[in-house]
Amino acid sequence: MLPPRSSSFVLRTIRSSACRLAVLGLILVLNTVEVFDQGAQAADSAAPPELQIDISKIGLGKEVVITQGNKEWFMRVEVTPENSVVVRQEKQGERYLLDESEMHDRAMTAAEVDAAISDFINSVKTRQKVK
């Protein structure tokens, strides 16, 4: 059995230049990892928030509201037996960037309503990816 080492032996070992160099290297490596991690977190926080998409059925038509931060896109397709009305709006904060409507002289089918809503959602997604 080996005799217990004194605390002075441990202190001499820690004070040796090789040990100090190893500890310094370890500290530098850990700080570098932390800097890279902070950079990755900053890049993640700079990304815009995800698009929130809410679709609701309204009578024979549908409505979709898409939000991202303070931007909002809205589309409503109202269908009656005689006609159809499509309303599109784009808003940033309280300012309207787009506000348009169109009227059709016939009732749109359910498939046409779904296609119009789907096309609108895809166009918003595409425009956000391009930015």
Q: Does residue 126 sit within a domain?
A: yes
Q: Does residue 114 sit within a domain?
A: yes
Give the per-residue pLDDT at 41. 60
Give the per-residue pLDDT at 31. 61
Give the per-residue pLDDT at 65. 98
Parts of the chain with a pLDDT under 50: none
Residues 14 and 70 in one domain: no
Give the per-residue pLDDT at 95. 96
Residues 64 and 126 in one domain: yes
Between CA 42 and CA 128 the distance in angstroms is: 20
Give the per-residue pLDDT at 109. 96
Residues 120 and 66 in one domain: yes
H-only helix segments in the chain: 7-15, 17-46, 110-130
Residues 57 and 42 in one domain: no
Residues 19 and 77 in one domain: no
Q: Name the domain count of the chain.
A: 2
Q: What are phi and psi of 33, to 5 degrees?
A: -60, -40
Give the per-residue pLDDT at 73. 98
Residues 63 and 89 in one domain: yes
Give the per-residue pLDDT at 129. 85
* Residue-range definition of the domain harbouring residue 41: 7-46
Give the per-residue pLDDT at 49. 80
Give the per-residue pLDDT at 44. 56
Q: What is the pTM (predicted TM-score) of this model? A: 0.63
